[in-house]
Structure 1
């Protein structure tokens, strides 16, 4: 459980991009699907291989000991490989100024409403699903009367599980995660109804079981992505980033659902007469009814309640998450300027004297107050200017360091060698393009020279998507005592070699 929590909690530390998170989680889920099902395939062959006595196919203590050694060794080596090989994204957005105390844990969990609602929804859903999964072997043994057919179902699960997981990115992109969730729930409800009326028909039982299994990895990934995105939601709302704490919620709910279902399974087996020595023929009609009510009726009710919670309360879509990341990215410069005690900051104090600022892109110079974005226009993010681009190339306006490289590639944050902090933002609303049509030529922390190419973008893609292509430039750490003078008149054409602004700092 500790390893599971640690593993899945890393996802928001690897990227800010929802689509990249989907791909990462998809590959991870493929690995866990193969690993989880592979254990069932190799366990008895390995146990019997190392056993001195087969004991009718169950093996002996020596066989089980060496199976445990093999599993423990592989688990340890894989954990070391993940620890050494995983690289977290290095971004100022992930810098917390203070540690999270236990008292704040409760505050975070109770005040991040999207985390709480998705947790409640998934908690109900996974309890119902786990209950069905835990009773499936009983169904094959005592209702269908063919326990050996369960291995057929397990084999089908490996194939369908891998297929559904691999299709997740495309399905999520085509349907969006919210709609995909509802389609999955509908499929599972249909499967449970088929189960109820399957009777002794093995083909119908297998169809129902597979239909119930296919959506499960998809729902898992939808929930995982939504919980991952709630990290930035909580950061924006609470002012504190808590990745591992947020991502530990999902494994906790799975473990809790497993504990509840195990208790219910034991009680159900006793109530239905499916105990030691029982067979399909010995289970009474009333026992079968009791079993089906608990295996199908109760989960349907629980899953539908969880779905209703998701429908009414979970509003954190991919589009909303992109907007949240955009808001966090826009304010990075102000936070950097105000955080002079942060050891990761090289210098946010502008040196005394005059500092030239070249045009970062060719085009028509526009007054910042006239741009179609009130946050930029009112100067809340700093003084500056805007340019209607005639070219699709953004250049470094001064010698400095790239302080933040946005996942959506539509903006860049720089700090000059003399302490000027600037944000160059391409277009308005372009965060929703998720990097489509943008190419970056830098890494975070890279030192650049005036005139170095930073970003190329396809202007037509921005306009075809219905967004404003205005390039907005702000100096986020300028103060009221600083004098910013435009060296070119508004409406004039500028190029990357033109000094467009001078900042005078009198110390």
Structure 2
């Protein structure tokens, strides 16, 4: 239980960090950083920042499998995951705090210099967050060979990450408003110092969670894990490409993740610029925290009864219904909250289905290729999440500009065409992506829990025969 809870606490801070970066940094840029009287300057700078973020994240993402290879090839007395988890989280947290500033006024006084410095800081953040992300989730197959035991670890980790991600939704508006008031803002208003104070809180949460996890969780030692031949960096992509199940799962999960993240990234804009009730956004966090606990707790029994495959597909079906309801919610706050709740409820279960399947693909790939690649295999899931987040950051900035949802404009200022454009990206495109994702998973993913047990038995027999010789 101590291991389970430690993993949950580490994941709590980790996902609070991820949601802050993926969902709310662009809101800081559009609502606080560039709000001069020169609308043209504001739009250009917002576009440059979001474009720079997208380019850096997409470019860095291509190195994620190599980061996984570096983690796999690490040998220390603390194991191969903990050093990267700690160093990555702490450095990334420092950079997160830095980007939630105007770099000493350079954003307005010397905008080109600001862009250069921001690009360097964001690149450092992205690289070290990748190390911590891959190290954290790659630990799962290193903790047990048994699918059921992995499901317990995965369930507790997702419990923590769900609370971390959704707690951000609850606290972001109150915390930013609180810190803003401490630094001169009028009651109920926000300023840049409020956002900085919030970023400092998130950086501390992520760092303390990583430290607690590293102190209490140890890797499992067994014949299958010890019988490992290191993968050379030049072979990393070949290892991923040769795992057919991993490739199909990656495609399906990317479509799902992109549809969810883009909707979630635009959610605060919806509450602020469509409903005109930014303060009601905190209700989403409260509702989804409760639903997240129920969803995660339901996963083990559902997976046992109907298998992970149908949890994944059924969850997407439920999300699709939520999107339909949301698309017609208009300015009805109750319907918007209900629709957002329906969309969120299956998300933790879909994530766990993906995570557990990828964990089992470590042994599948080992039996197929003769090499065990824990971090390389598990790096695919964070890679996909970051790729989805990168595209989402770029799109959200453009959608906000195109729909006129910047600065302190009111819902009545949004044009009909701007609202249609906004809804297209928030609802209709994600719905199409969800359908394609479910179809690919249904047709192409064949590694069930039972087949994984067969793979592990085959590996034990193979390695036992080799040892006997």
Q: Name the TM-score, length of structure 2 as normaliser.
A: 0.67
**RMSD of the TM alignment (CA)?**
2.4
Q: Which residue of 2 aligns with 1:319?
A: 450
In the TM superposition, residue 38 of structure 1 has moved relative to its aligned partner by: 3.2
Q: Which residue of 2 aligns with 1:413?
A: none
d(CA) in 2 for partners of 1:115, 1:137? 34
CA contact (8 A) 1:51 1:62 kept: no
CA contact (8 A) 2:251 2:437 kept: yes
Corresponding residue to 1:27 among 156, 181, 194: 156
User: What are the residue-to-residue correspondences of 1:194-273 with 2, within 5 Å?
Assistant: 194-273=325-404
* Distance 1:52-1:7 versus aligned 2 partners, 3 A rule: same
* Distance 1:98-1:291 versus aligned 2 partners, 3 A rule: same
In the TM superposition, residue 80 of structure 1 has moved relative to its aligned partner by: 2.8
In the TM superposition, residue 129 of structure 1 has moved relative to its aligned partner by: 0.8
The superposition leaves residues 236-282 of structure 1 with CA deviations (integer Å, 9 ceiling, x where unpaired) of 10011101111111111111111101111111122222233432112
d(CA) in 1 for partners of 2:439, 2:182? 55
d(CA) in 1 for partners of 2:409, 2:399? 14
d(CA) in 2 for partners of 1:10, 1:309? 27
CA contact (8 A) 1:47 1:67 kept: no
Corresponding residue to 1:174 among 296, 305, 324: 305
Corresponding residue to 1:153 among 284, 302, 308: 284
1:123 aligns with 2:257: no
* Distance 1:47-1:96 versus aligned 2 partners, 3 A rule: farther
CA contact (8 A) 2:179 2:197 kept: no
In the TM superposition, residue 190 of structure 1 has moved relative to its aligned partner by: 0.5
In the TM superposition, residue 45 of structure 1 has moved relative to its aligned partner by: 4.5
Q: Which residue of 2 aligns with 1:305?
A: 436
d(CA) in 2 for partners of 1:74, 1:284? 40
The superposition leaves residues 177-215 of structure 1 with CA deviations (integer Å, 9 ceiling, x where unpaired) of 111111101101101111112222222221111000101
User: What are the residue-to-residue correspondences of 1:59-458 with 2, within 5 Å?
Assistant: 71-338=202-469
Q: Which residue of 2 aligns with 1:4?
A: 133
Q: Which residue of 1 aligns with 2:183?
A: 53
* Distance 1:47-1:211 versus aligned 2 partners, 3 A rule: closer
SS in 2 for 1:88: coil
In the TM superposition, residue 108 of structure 1 has moved relative to its aligned partner by: 0.5
CA contact (8 A) 1:153 1:210 kept: yes
CA contact (8 A) 1:51 1:61 kept: no
Q: Name the TM-score, length of structure 1 as normaliser.
A: 0.62
- Which protein, 1 or 2, shows the higher relative CO under an 8 Å CA cutoff with sep ≥ 6? 2
* Distance 1:56-1:5 versus aligned 2 partners, 3 A rule: farther
d(CA) in 2 for partners of 1:100, 1:66? 43
CA contact (8 A) 1:145 1:279 kept: yes
Structure 2, gaps ≥5 residues long:
1-128
Q: Which residue of 2 aligns with 1:449?
A: none
CA contact (8 A) 2:319 2:342 kept: yes
Q: Which residue of 1 aligns with 2:166?
A: 37
* Distance 1:146-1:38 versus aligned 2 partners, 3 A rule: closer
CA contact (8 A) 2:303 2:311 kept: yes
Look at both structures and tell me which one has the larger radius of gyration over its CA atoms: 1
Larger helix percent: 2
SS in 2 for 1:276: coil
* Distance 1:297-1:232 versus aligned 2 partners, 3 A rule: same
Structure 1, gaps ≥5 residues long:
339-507
CA contact (8 A) 1:46 1:67 kept: yes
